[in-house]
Amino acid sequence: MAGQTLFQKVWDSHVVTGTDPSLLYVDLQLVHEVTSPQAFAGLAQSNRRVRRPDLTLATIDHGVPTTDRHLGIRDRLSKTQIDALRANCATHGITLFDLDDPRQGIVHVIAPEQGLTQPGMLIVCGDSHTSTHGAFGALAFGIGTSEVEHVLATQTIWQSRPGSMAIEIDGQLPWGVSAKDLILGAITAIGVSGGGKHVIEYRGAAVEALTMEERMTVCNMTIEAGARAGMIAPDETTFAYLKDRPFAPQGQDWDLALEAWTTMRTDPDAVFDATHHVDASRLVPHVSWGVNPAQTVGIDGEVPHPETFTDHLQRDSAVRALQYMDLDPGTPMTDIVIDHVFIGSCANGRLEDLRAAARVAEGKSVKNGVSAIVVPGSMQVKAQAEAEGLDRIFTSAGFEWRDAGCSSCLAMNPDVIPPGGRCASTSNRNYEGRQGRGARTHLVSPAMAAASAITGHFVDVREWEPR
């Protein structure tokens, strides 16, 4: 019998009953204010309780302002939603990292930094970027509100088993090319539905060399390839990251955990249902030109001509994208002028991301007419960055330094890009209207975003940063 993949091992260890679908046990459910109120209302309507509040963690991230928090939430609807989460957590005894908690932040940033995300766990959240947690070798995926309610009530979820897909990333990332460029390159290669009905395992020398924060960036954007989840086998990098985090195992439990975690890798003779290869050494910094994350090219490239797409749907999509983005085919990416910069999100709002952006921004000034904000992924990231002086580098250069939240990634809070605005964004989605109606989003790495803030257009950060 062939060996098992990491995904199969984690899946099998969570099956309570059934085959297609299987009832899977959930080790951790993360909850936020936007996709949970109707789930809690459903529970109340049926007189049901939360089975395991001790395996549930809530925070407030999507709708929170990133400035002047002491003034409270001024958006009436957002306030109602946030107050509902507070009341629901109080009723059911769920731990909530509220706005006054130093651990508040984006749900996919705080669980890993608290040590709650661990190898071999099954983690769900009413948010598609739950794939982030797969960076630790957890099986983690986004779910809808009906499923949120189901998990609250039963601590389980019905799922049909997806296929397994390997993305083998060999070689070494060149200098100036980031994990964001790696995943944008992979998505561009396999397409926004290329991972559909599969769980991706990222493998290979380039993946093993990534830090945990870089791995989270890669797994975060797995959903942008349509995959159910993304995973990376836990290794010494993972264990070193977890050691001594607040919710990580302690003492004898740490030894037991380590013993279990080291078995969580794909057997040498395991067979994947599909395999793709990416050569990391050939990657360059990427910039998206269109309205989905696969509509992306290298910074040394140009806005494509729609007729170069052979598939008629992709061609139509490119035509509409160029119209929305107000771009002409053949325009060099370095000629595109931006007026907004957003550095943050669950893709790129961690300490290493802010360090990369600060290295570029240090001693420089944001171009006149460019509005640039830095939104740490959590209040802990914010505190760590301030301890290193990154906030002063940003503010001296003319960036705004904000409080933690999802912010301009999806513009549910006041950080909306105005109609016609063009934003270099470290977030994960460049959909039409994502950052505000009529706003145009270009996905880039933190270093690329910082460099564009200073020049006012996209530049090749490989020529920018001193080696």
Partner 1 sequence: MKPVRAITGTMLHMDRADVDTDQIIPQQFLKRIERDGYGEFLFHNWAHHDNGELNHEFIINHPQRSGARVLIAGPNFGCGSSREHAAWAIQDWGFEAVIAPSLADIFKNNAANIGLLPIELDGEHVAVLFDIATDPAAVIDIDLLEQTIVSGELTLEFDINPNVKERLLGGIDTIGVTLGHGEAISAHESRRPSWMPMTTAGGAA
Residues 235-254 that bind partner 1 (CB under 8 A): 246-250, 253-254
Query: At its nearest, how many Å lie between partner 1 and the CB of residue 167?
Result: 17
Site string for partner 1, 272-291 (x = CB under 8 A): --------------------
Burial zone of 434 (CB within 10 Å; 0-12 exposed, 13-18 middle, 19+ buried)? buried
- CA neighbor of 199 nearest in space, from 9, 3, 409: 9
Q: Kindly tell me which residue out of 2, 20, 70, 310 binds partner 1, with binding defined by CB under 8 A.
A: 20
Q: Does residue 27 interact with partner 1 by CB under 8 A?
A: yes
- Count of CB atoms situated within 10 Å of the CB of 386: 13
The alpha carbon dihedral of 143, 144, 150, 152 has a sign of positive
Rank residues 230 and 285 by Cβ distance to partner 1 and give the closer one. 230
By CB under 8 A, tell whether 263 contacts partner 1.
no
CA 237 vs CA 107, 170, 232: distances in Å: 22, 18, 11
Q: What is the 3-state secondary structure (H, E, C) of 127-158?
A: CHHHHHHHHHCCEEEECCHHHHHHHHHHCEEE
Residue 189: closest CA among 283, 50, 86? 283
Give residues 383-412 in contact with partner 1 (rule: CB under 8 A): 410-412
Of 78-86, 232-240, 330-338, 447-455, the window that binds partner 1 (rule: CB under 8 A) is 78-86
Nearest approach in angstroms of CB 128 to partner 1 is 4
Instruction: Give the position of tokens 């325009």.
Output: 331
**Based on CB atoms, which residue is closest to partner 1, 91 or 154?**
154
Candidate segments 18-26, 207-215, 385-393, 457-465, binder of partner 1 by CB under 8 A = 18-26
d(CA 325, CA 314): 16
Residue 426 lies near partner 1 (rule: CB under 8 A):
no
Compare residues 54 and 388 and give the one whose CB is closer to partner 1: 54
Q: How far is the CB of 139 from partner 1 (least distance, A)?
A: 13
Member of 9, 32, 133, 150 binding partner 1 (CB under 8 A): 150
Q: Please name the residue ranges forming H helices in 229-310.
A: 236-242, 251-261
Min dist CB 51 to partner 1, Å, is 8
Q: Is the Cβ of residue 23 or residue 209 nearer to partner 1 in the bound state? A: 23
Q: Which of residues 184-223 bind partner 1 (CB under 8 A)?
A: 192-193, 196-197, 223
Q: How many residues bind partner 1 (CB under 8 A)?
A: 94
Mask for 337-376, x = binds partner 1 (CB under 8 A): ----------------------------------------
DSSP state of 230: E
4, 5, 66, 78: which one binds partner 1 (CB under 8 A) = 78
Q: Where are the alpha helices (DSSP H) in 29-124?
A: 37-45, 76-92, 107-113
Least CB distance from residue 126 to partner 1, whole Å?
6
Shortest separation between residue 144's beta carbon and partner 1, angstroms: 4
Q: Which of 53, 47, 57, 247 is nearest to 155 (CA)?
A: 53
The 8-class DSSP code of residue 294 comes to T
Question: Which contiguous run of DSSP H or E holds residue 425?
Answer: strand 422-425
Residue closer to partner 1 (CB basis): 255 or 335: 255
Nearest to 254 by CA among 263, 264, 244, 246: 244
Out of 12, 72, 419, 463, the residue judged to bind partner 1 by CB under 8 A: 419
Q: Establish if 308 lies at the interface with partner 1 (CB under 8 A).
A: no
Put residue 155 in one of left, alpha, beta given phi > 0 → left and psi -120 to 50 → alpha.
left
How far is 108 from 87, CA to CA, in rounded Å?
22
Asked whether position 434 contacts partner 1 by CB under 8 A, the answer is yes
Smallest distance, partner 1 to C-beta of residue 12, A: 12
Three-class SS state of 279: strand
- Residue nearer to partner 1 on the CB measure, 19 or 368: 19
Regarding 77 and contact with partner 1 (CB under 8 A), the answer is yes
Contact with partner 1 (CB under 8 A) among 66, 217, 317, 378: 317
Residues 101-120 close enough to bind partner 1 by CB under 8 A? 101-103, 114-116, 118
Residue with tokens 């992924």: 377
Total Cβ atoms within 10 A of residue 396? 13
Going by their DSSP bridges, the two strands 296-298 and 286-288 should be labelled as: antiparallel
Using the minimum distance from each CB to partner 1, give the nearer residue, 254 or 359: 254
- Contact region for partner 1 (CB under 8 A) — 147-155, 165-173, 296-304, 336-344? 147-155
Residues 436-465 that bind partner 1 (CB under 8 A): 437-438
Stretch that binds partner 1, among 100-108, 173-181, 338-346, 364-372 (CB under 8 A): 100-108
Of 157-176, which residues contact partner 1 (CB under 8 A)? 158, 160, 162
Q: In what order do the strands lie in the sheet with 156-159?
A: 15-17, 22-25, 156-159
Residue 48 interacts with partner 1 (CB under 8 A): yes or no: yes
How far apart are the C-alpha atoms of 100 and 60, rounded to whole Å? 10
Q: How far apart are CA 413 and CA 99, in angstroms?
A: 14
371, containing H or E segment: strand 371-374
